[in-house]
Amino acid sequence: MHFATEEGNSCVGRRVASRERLCYTLHSNKGVVGLVIEIPGRDPIQIQHVVFDLNGTLSYDGTVLPDVPALIRELRQHVQCWLLTGDTYGTGARIAEELGLTLYTIQTGEDKAAMVSRLEGGVAALGNGMNDVLMLRQAQLGIAVIGPEGAAARAVQAADIVVPSIQAGLGLLLNPRRIVATLRP
């Protein structure tokens, strides 16, 4: 499948849906440039970046949760991934390197939202805390993660989708038909 971008560049889409085109990966001569998720009755969601909170989302008490490295490695084949953290445990740089994420250290939730707004293209955001609320609202797709530390009620309210674990959230992005099933009217 070939698709034209707004700039007129040719893109190749990898079909995910079997009967109709619901989700596909955009490619250009520079490699993968994002995901497009077509939800019946809604505008398509284009995702070129995924931003993650660290503590309580990707890690628990400063330790990366099980299966996260492999899932993020797979996700990085489709989108650019970022780690936005206040670095409570001082592990941000090590974990960003371990997971192949671009690190952005923040002080406030406003810093996270500002970073999301600066990223060109669509953004999916995953977080669990009060300082993730604005980021979840700003993103084209906000996913609240109720992990081992729980989740702030306002983060859950700000999200488009709520998941019980980071593994489930990464699974949504890696299998976008699940997003379609959850968000279709």
pLDDT of residue 179: 95
151 found inside a domain: yes
Q: List, for residues 61-73, the tens digit of each pLDDT value.
A: 999 999 999 999 9
pLDDT of residue 4: 28
131 found inside a domain: yes
- Please give the mean pLDDT across all residues of the chain: 86
149 found inside a domain: yes
Three-state secondary-structure class, residue 14:
strand
| Whether 17 and 32 share a structural domain | yes
Q: List, for residues 1-59, the tens digit of each pLDDT value.
A: 222 233 333 344 443 333 345 566 555 445 557 899 999 988 999 999 999 999 999 99
Total number of domains in the chain: 2
In three state form, how does the secondary structure of 24-82 look? EEEEECCEEEEEEECCCCCCCEEECEEEEECECCCEECCEECCCHHHHHHHHCCCCEEE
| Whether 115 and 25 share a structural domain | no
pLDDT of residue 71: 97
184 found inside a domain: no
Distance (Å, whole) CA 43 – CA 110: 27
| Whether 77 and 105 share a structural domain | yes
Looking up residue 87, the CATH number of its domain turns out to be 3.40.50.1000
The range of the structural domain enclosing residue 10 comes to 2-45
| Whether 9 and 89 share a structural domain | no
Which residues neighbour 77 within 8 Å (Cβ) at sequence distance 6 or greater? Answer: 32
| Whether 13 and 55 share a structural domain | no
180 found inside a domain: no
| Whether 112 and 138 share a structural domain | yes
| Whether 102 and 130 share a structural domain | yes
109 found inside a domain: yes
pLDDT of residue 121: 87
181 found inside a domain: no
| Whether 39 and 99 share a structural domain | no
| Whether 21 and 54 share a structural domain | no
Strand 123-127 with 49-53, pairing: parallel
pLDDT of residue 23: 60
Q: Which of 8-22, 90-104, 117-131 shows the lowest mean pLDDT across its residues? A: 8-22
Q: What is the pTM of this model?
A: 0.85
| Whether 6 and 90 share a structural domain | no
